[in-house]
Amino acid sequence: MIKKIDHIAIAVTDLDEEIKRYRDVLGLEFHGAEVVADQKVKVAFFSVGDVHIELTAPTEEDSPVGKFISKRGAGIHHIAYEVDDIGAQIKDFQAKDIKMIDSEPRIGAGNCKIVFAHPKSFSGVLVELKQK
């Protein structure tokens, strides 16, 4: 079952510059950054109430985020929903004919289990499921 929106991810080209903008201009609380080598990205985390903003910059041009930026430019990349049981949620989505990019969870930022559902299943929006 989906519990809440965990974060909104924004693809950026210059992570350091965007960290300054989100921290110093918007005044959002900065929670740090980390590299997610498996996904070839560096991410920075901010919070706005109970929702987090994840700035995502490619560490390599051939990464999924790098390809996204090349094709569409910087901007909203995905919406992540927190779930209690990611395995059960994958099965539920598959039973409802939701096309999954991942059929098995992998480890994402913050050492959480994640999977992605294809944007074609959600009106062009990439959906991430995340289990802490």
Rounded mean pLDDT of 6-34? 97
pLDDT tens digits, one per residue of 26-81: 999 999 999 999 999 999 999 999 899 999 999 999 999 999 999 999 999 999 99
- Let me know if domain 2-131 sits in CATH 3.10.180.10: yes
**CA 82 to CA 85: how far, in whole Å?**
9
Query: Contact at 8 Å (CB) between 58 and 66?
Result: yes
Any idea where the domains of the chain sit in the sequence? Answer: 2-131
What one-character DSSP code corresponds to residue 99?
P
What is the per-residue pLDDT across 103-125, written as a single tens digit (0 to 9) for each? 999 999 989 999 999 999 999 99
Please provide the DSSP assignment of 25-65 as one string. Answer: IS-PEEEEEEEEGGGTEEEEEEEETTEEEEEEEESSTTSHH
As a whole number, mean pLDDT of residues 77-100 equals 97
